[in-house]
């Protein structure tokens, strides 16, 4: 079981991811709706893992991962995006994400990514 922060600008997606993670036995300790919130919540709740949307207002997910990496170079992030283009996956991995899940996603795929990233 891990303490996870969910970052997505869509309330619906936060709800979905939270349900999947909770059913998988994890605890969602924070929900952020943009990159700036993500950075501030990261500091206050120090989660084991982050699920991060890419397209968000204020600060996008790639910029947020880069900023959080500055705070903790070991941070574990799974990118969640509806865009499956290679360029975007590459940008996310370069920024420091450990895995990439494409929306709409299946429960098993998300939990598998979480398990893999936590045990790495």
Partner 1 sequence: MLNEYDVISKVGQNVLAGYLGLIVETSELQQGANSIESNGVGVALQIIGQMEGQFISTMSTATVKELVSRMMGGYEVQQLDEMCWSAFQEFGNWFVSGIATELASQGIQVNITQPLLHEGDVTYHSINNYTVVTMTSEIGKIDVYMQLEEAQTTK
| Among positions 22, 40, 72, 85, the unique one binding partner 1 when judged by CB under 8 A | 85
* Residue 104, preceding peptide bond in cis (omega within 30° of 0): yes
| DSSP state string for the chain | --EEEEE-S-HHHHHHHHHHHHHTT-EEEEEESSHHHHHHHHHHH--SEEEEESS-SSS-HHHHHHHHHHH-TT--EEEEES---HHHHHHHHHHT-SEEEESS--HHHHHHHHHHHHH-
Q: Identify residues 22-81 at the interface with partner 1 (CB under 8 A).
A: 81
- 55 lines the binding site for Mg ion (CB under 5 A): yes
- 53 lines the binding site for Mg ion (CB under 5 A): yes
86 binds, among partner 1, Mg ion, none (CB under 5 to 8 A by kind): partner 1
The number of residues that bind Mg ion (CB under 5 A) is 3
- 9 lines the binding site for Mg ion (CB under 5 A): yes
| Among positions 63, 82, 93, 118, the unique one binding partner 1 when judged by CB under 8 A | 82
80 closest CA partner among 29, 25, 4? 4
| Among positions 2, 13, 39, 65, the unique one binding partner 1 when judged by CB under 8 A | 13
- 12 lines the binding site for partner 1 (CB under 8 A): yes
Binding residues for partner 1 (CB under 8 A): 10-13, 15-16, 19, 81-87, 103-104, 106
């Amino acid at each position: 079981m891990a303490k996870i922060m969910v970052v997505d600008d869509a309330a619906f997606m936060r709800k979905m991811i939270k349900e999947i993670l909770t059913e998988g036995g994890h605890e969602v300790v924070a929900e952020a709706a943009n990159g700036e919130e993500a950075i501030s919540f990261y500091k206050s709740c120090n989660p084991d893992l982050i699920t991060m949307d890419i397209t968000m207002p204020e600060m996008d997910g790639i910029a947020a991962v880069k900023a959080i990496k500055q705070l903790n170079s070991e941070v574990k992030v799974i990118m969640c995006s509806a865009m499956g283009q290679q360029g975007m996956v590459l940008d996310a991995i370069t920024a420091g994400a450990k895995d990439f899940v494409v929306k709409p996603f299946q429960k098993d795929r998300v939990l598998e990514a979480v398990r893999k990233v936590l045990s790495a």
